């Protein structure tokens, strides 16, 4: 009797099952392990943003711009980016600036579209790191409070009040 190759025999079915059982078992075990790992919170958490120590420099003379600084903490595992800042007390576009060193060890400031906030880290703005460039549309005095809304790529918006300070005051 001739056996056609396309007809499964009992032996072929057992061999196929034995060959498939190892990779299928490993996949099921890996998927189960990843599910338990993620369900227990070890897969990371989204950005959780907090804003403190908000300061705005008193505008000097007839300068058209001043700088605002914020201490932004991220207690989440994932990084985020500060992408926009607005204020009802400001007309005009608020932008970002970053401090850079050149090859000759001199410093300059350059405009940027966003500022990074590391996961489980902090962005502590200062004249030496990064800042928010604010058009001067009002003559603020030291001690005034100016409302700002900070927008983040993933965490959404955070509202805060910045106190107007003189440069060099309060560690700025």
pLDDT per position as a tens digit, 17-58: 888 888 888 988 888 888 887 776 666 788 999 999 999 999
Residue 99, token pair as written in the block: 């401090």
**Are 151 and 83 in contact, with CB atoms under 8 Å apart?**
yes
Local confidence band at 79 (pLDDT 50, 70, 90 cut-offs): very high
Higher-confidence residue: 39 or 159? 159
Tokens of 32: 């189960």
Residue 89: pLDDT above 90?
A: yes
- CA 52 from chain centre, in angstroms, equals 16
pLDDT, tens digit (0-9, with 9 covering 90-100), for 126-156: 988 899 999 998 889 999 999 999 999 999 9
Contact 87, 146 (CB under 8 A): yes
Least confident window among 57-61, 105-109, 113-117: 105-109
The answer to whether residues 83 and 156 touch, using CB atoms and an 8 Å cutoff, is no
Two structure tokens written together for 140: 């603020």
Provide mean pLDDT across the span 69-80: 95
* pLDDT given at position 41: 62
Classify residue 148 as exposed, middle or buried by CB count within 10 Å of its CB (0-12, 13-18, 19+). buried
């Amino acid at each position: 009797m001739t056996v056609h190759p396309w007809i499964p025999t009992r032996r072929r079915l057992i061999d196929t099952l034995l060959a498939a059982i190892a990779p299928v078992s490993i996949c099921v075990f890996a998927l189960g392990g990843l599910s338990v790992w993620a369900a227990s919170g070890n897969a990371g958490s989204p950005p959780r943003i907090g804003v403190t120590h908000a300061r705005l420099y008193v505008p000097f003379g007839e300068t058209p711009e001043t700088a605002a600084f914020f201490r932004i903490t991220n207690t989440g595992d994932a990084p985020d980016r500060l992408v926009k800042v607005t204020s009802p007390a400001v007309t005009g576009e608020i932008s970002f600036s970053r401090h850079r060193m050149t090859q000759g060890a001199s410093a300059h400031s350059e405009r940027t579209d966003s500022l990074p906030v590391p996961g489980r880290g902090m962005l502590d703005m200062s004249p030496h790191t990064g800042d928010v460039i604010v058009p001067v549309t009002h003559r603020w005095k030291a001690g005034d409070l100016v409302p700002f809304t900070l927008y983040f790529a993933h965490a959404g918006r955070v509202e805060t009040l910045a106190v107007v300070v003189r440069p060099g005051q309060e560690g700025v």
